[in-house]
Amino acid sequence: MKKCVLLVCMLVISMFALSAQQVDPMTEGMECTSITIGKKASADGSVMTSHTDDSHRSRTNIMVQPAADHSAGERQTLYKRVWAPNEPGKMARYADIPVGDIPQAAHTYQFLNTAYPCANEHQLAIGESTFGGRAELKSDSGLIDCQRLCMLLLQRCTTAREAIRTAGVLLKEYGWIDAGECLTIADKNEVWHLEILGPGKGKRGAVWAAQRVPDDHVAVNANASTIREINLKDKDYFMASDNVYSLAKENGWWDGKETFRFAYAYAPQSRTMIACRRREWRVFDLLAPSLHLDPNAENYPFSVKPDTLVTIEKMMSVFKDYYEGTPYDMRKTLTVADKEGKQVISPMANPFMKSDELKLHKINGGWNELGERNIAVHFTVYGTIIQCRADMPDEVGALCWFALDNVASSIYVPIYANVTDLPSTYKTDGRETGFSKEAAWWAFNRVGTIACQRWGDMHVVIDQTWAPLEKEFIKEHYVVENEAVRLLREGKRTEALRLLTNFTNDCGNTAVESAWKLGDYIWTTFDGMW
């Protein structure tokens, strides 16, 4: 009996020690990449925004938050995201603590409720990327953080410009309580980048600037401020807070004589971090290779015209990228001799090495000992690519392609913003449950985790599994949309939404079932080979 008690005590102590030693991916590299596409830069005329939530503390689920009417005088509680205390046997995650409340809108729109709410029923869509900015600007006196702002805008707005103006009003009155963030806000006609920072310690408010992506251009935010010169006379392309110039001047970050550059005034570190700039280069190089941009440049254009019109398939492939075939592939020194004696990358090498592995192999890159920061990373919780389409009714037009876990080993499934329900496994937070077949995220996380043990061979099997299924989803969604549009024209809205909901759920369930089978297969097939 004493031995059992001692064993339990040792186990608890070891779990506490392990919990204390865990390195959160947030500290291994800044989170999130967002790519935006103007309507004349896309192959089908859709406007696109996107996002990868690259923090393993984020919740993994996606839910439908229905539209609602609210009574006069009703208040909306706001929360601040904080790190939850580490608990033995529990996964690292965030907690939300209430910080105050604001007047509720009379009516709120339906939206897809991800960790960063992403799309609403009127084809307003939002992506996100953290860029930090000057520490002096961070204020704890505000009420609105990034996730809550996304929610408020989707609940209350229908267009990108309305969302930016609404953000300006809310932030001026209630204040920003987060680090520097870029929101990539799209509607069915245009897409903007909105960069926000706090007003300074102890103050309530915000400083922000917004720049529109030209219709025939693509743009990217990869954890670095990219808005530089702003021309507030050109209201079709720029917006900013009232204090955008004065705050920089008061703090000595701009002398009032030289050209004002938002990024250099408020987030100068953005243009020094090679891991952020490298992703900017890679996105542009994949979409506009004819520009021959310098992979080590300090700055890139805010946006560029792609060499060819961008398809949804191309967007998916960009988000699966990890610099393969470039000098920045972190596996490049991990070679073995093949049958002909030629040095090739070892099948044991993987592009998603943790910090301990990078140190072990003496691999350096954009994050120094933490290596390059790929577009696809192992600590992604979910990714979205959202299409907003002016040539379709809102019920059909807002389409979110949704992938769970590392996008490079996952699959995008179609989720319409107007569906009435989602599969139960997608609504279950896998970080709350721990490993469980009740949460879809775990099916994809298991595939990605196993694949990293022998990426060179396993990713071939993964690609052979997901590529045809992804292609099938894309092919089928056109057929379903045509039928949904026909039903809407006949006044059968309920039937149209049922069709979209059933299709979304069928695709989601198929993907999850396939992921569990794929995990079983690669574990069994490659057993003993890592």
DSSP result, 115-170? SS--EETTS-EEEEEEEE--GGG--SS-SB-HHHHHHHHHHH-SSHHHHHHHHHHH
**Model confidence over 256-272: pLDDT tens digits?**
999 999 999 999 999 99
Q: Are 354 and 330 in contact (CB under 8 A)?
A: no
Q: Are 293 and 281 in contact (CB under 8 A)?
A: yes
> Which residue ranges make up each domain of the chain?
26-319
pLDDT value at position 530? Answer: 85
d(CA 105, CA 154): 12
Model confidence, pTM? 0.94
Q: Are 238 and 210 in contact (CB under 8 A)?
A: yes
**Model confidence over 201-247: pLDDT tens digits?**
999 999 999 999 999 999 999 999 999 999 999 999 999 999 999 99
139 Ramachandran zone, left/alpha/beta (phi>0; psi -120 to 50): beta
Q: Are 403 and 382 in contact (CB under 8 A)?
A: yes
Selection from 277, 259, 315 nearest residue 41 by Cα: 315
Residue 399, CA distances (Å) to 130, 238, 385, 393 in order: 24, 27, 8, 12
Strand pairing partners for 388?
47
Selection from 388, 401, 41 nearest residue 185 by Cα: 388
Element (H, E) at 211: strand 207-213
DSSP track, 354-415: -HHHHHHTT--BTTBTT----SS-TT--EEEEEEE-TTS-HHHH-EEEEEES-GGGS--EEE
Spell out the per-residue pLDDT of the chain, length 530, in tens.
444 444 444 444 344 343 333 333 334 445 799 999 999 999 999 999 999 999 989 999 999 999 999 999 999 999 999 988 888 878 988 999 999 999 999 999 999 999 999 999 999 999 999 999 999 999 999 999 999 999 999 999 999 999 999 999 999 999 999 999 999 999 999 999 999 999 999 999 999 999 999 999 999 999 999 999 999 999 999 999 999 999 999 999 999 999 999 999 999 999 998 889 999 999 999 999 999 999 999 999 999 999 999 999 999 999 999 999 999 999 999 999 999 999 999 999 999 998 888 888 888 755 655 568 899 999 999 999 999 999 999 999 999 999 999 999 999 999 999 999 999 999 999 999 999 999 999 999 999 999 999 999 999 999 999 999 999 999 999 999 999 999 999 999 999 999 999 999 999 999 999 999 999 999 999 999 98
d(CA 369, CA 361): 10
pLDDT value at position 372? Answer: 80
pLDDT value at position 29? Answer: 41
Residue 42, CA distances (Å) to 50, 417, 436 in order: 14, 20, 39
Q: Are 56 and 448 in contact (CB under 8 A)?
A: no
Selection from 400, 402, 407, 427 nearest residue 61 by Cα: 427
Q: Are 63 and 113 in contact (CB under 8 A)?
A: yes
Selection from 417, 412, 413 nearest residue 392 by Cα: 417
d(CA 180, CA 226): 12
Residues 6+ apart with CB under 8 A from 503: 414, 476, 477, 480
